C-alpha cells in the first residue's frame, strides 16, 4: 500500500468555505491543491499547493489539471466550490450577468468534473462533490441565474453518479446553507436574522461544520448520487 497522501482539488479555495476546506483536509493528512482565481489563499503550508485556476477558461483548465495529475500522480477528490453571484430581478438581469453566474457555478463545475474524471476512472477511485445551494431547490427572488445554476448542479450530480459509478467514482452534492463568508457580508443584519429564523434551530451554519462533513463524505465508499442539505431548513419532499 502506498503511503502517499490522498490528493484533493478545491476550486474557489480563496473564499471562506474554500479556506475552511483547505484547513480541514490538511488536518486530515490530505495533499490539497488550492485552486483560486482572484484572491490567493494564505501562503502554502507543506500540504497545500496553490494554483491559479479559472474554471471558466476550459482549455487552460484542462492543461492545468493534466499538469497537476502528472505532478501528484493522482487526484482522489474534487470539490467544486467556485461560485459567483450577480443578483437582480428578471427585469434588471442582463445577459452578461446571467452568463457569468452560469459559467462559474455550473459550466465550470462540469469542466472540472470532466477533467478529473479521466484520471479517476483510470485509477478506479475518486469522489466529486458539487457545492450547490438551497436556492437550487426552492428558487430565490432576485437570484434566477444563481438558482438555475445551482439547480443544474443537482442534475449534473445525479447524471455523473450514474455515468461514473461503474468505475468506482462517487458523485454527490452538498447544500451548505447560509454561511458567514464574504459573499454574505454584504447582507444586512435583518437579512441574516431572516435566514437564521428560517432554520428550525434558529441559526445559520458554520464553516467548520460544513468542512468537517465534506471531508467525512470523501472518506465514504458507498454513497453516490445523493444531495446533502446541512442546515435546518425543511423543504418539501418533492
User: 439547480: which residue's cell?
Assistant: 151
Task: Report yes or no on whether pTM surpasses 0.75.
Answer: yes
How many angstroms separate the CA atoms of 163 and 170, rounded? 10
At 183 the pLDDT is 75
How many angstroms separate the CA atoms of 22 and 95, rounded? 34
pLDDT category of residue 133 using cuts at 50, 70 and 90: very high
Task: Name the active-site residue from 25, 30, 36, 146.
Answer: 146
Count CA atoms within 13 Å of residue 69 on its CB side. 21
Listing DSSP states for 89-111 in one string gives -TTT--HHHHHHHHIIIIIHHHH
Domain annotation for the chain: domains and CATH numbers: 7-179+206-229 (3.40.50.720)
pLDDT at 238 over 50: no
Tell me if residue 91 is catalytic.
no
Instruction: Report which of 152, 138, 140 is spatially closest to residue 88, judged by C-alpha positions.
Output: 140
pLDDT at 207 over 50: yes
| Beta-ladder partners of 51 | 35
Q: Computed from CA positions of residues 51, 55, 57, 62, in that sequence, does the dihedral angle turn out positive or negative?
A: positive
How many angstroms separate the CA atoms of 108 and 96, rounded? 16
pLDDT at 187 over 80: no
At 41 the pLDDT is 66
pLDDT digits (tens, 9 = 90+) for 24-52: 999 999 999 999 987 666 666 789 999 99
pLDDT digits (tens, 9 = 90+) for 6-23: 999 999 999 999 999 999
Rounded (10°) angle between helices 207-218 and 16-27: 50
Amino acid at each position: 500500500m502506498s503511503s502517499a497522501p490522498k490528493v484533493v482539488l478545491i476550486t474557489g479555495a480563496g473564499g471562506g468555505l474554500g479556506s475552511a476546506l483547505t484547513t480541514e483536509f490538511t488536518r486530515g493528512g490530505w495533499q490539497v491543491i488550492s485552486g483560486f482565481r482572484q484572491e490567493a489563499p494564505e501562503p502554502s503550508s507543506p500540504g497545500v499547493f496553490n494554483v491559479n485556476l479559472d474554471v471558466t477558461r476550459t482549455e487552460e483548465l484542462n492543461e492545468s489539471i493534466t499538469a497537476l495529475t502528472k505532478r501528484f500522480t493522482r487526484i482522489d477528490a474534487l470539490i467544486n466550490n467556485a461560485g459567483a453571484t450577480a443578483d437582480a430581478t428578471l427585469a434588471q438581469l442582463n445577459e452578461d450577468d446571467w452568463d457569468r453566474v452560469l459559467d462559474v457555478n455550473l459550466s465550470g463545475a462540469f469542466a472540472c468534473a470532466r477533467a478529473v474524471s479521466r484520471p479517476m476512472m483510470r485509477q478506479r477511485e475518486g469522489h466529486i462533490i458539487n457545492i450547490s445551494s438551497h436556492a437550487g431547490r426552492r428558487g430565490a427572488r432576485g437570484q434566477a441565474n444563481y438558482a438555475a445554476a445551482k439547480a443544474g448542479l443537482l442534475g449534473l450530480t445525479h447524471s455523473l453518479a450514474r455515468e461514473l459509478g461503474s468505475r468506482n467514482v462517487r458523485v454527490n452534492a452538498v447544500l451548505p446553507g447560509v454561511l458567514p463568508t464574504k459573499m454574505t457580508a454584504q447582507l444586512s443584519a435583518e437579512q441574516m436574522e431572516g435566514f437564521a429564523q428560517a432554520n428550525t434551530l434558529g441559526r445559520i451554519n458554520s464553516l467548520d461544520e460544513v468542512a468537517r462533513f465534506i471531508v467525512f463524505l470523501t472518506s465514504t465508499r458507498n454513497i453516490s448520487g445523493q444531495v446533502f442539505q446541512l442546515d435546518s431548513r425543511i423543504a418539501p419532499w418533492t
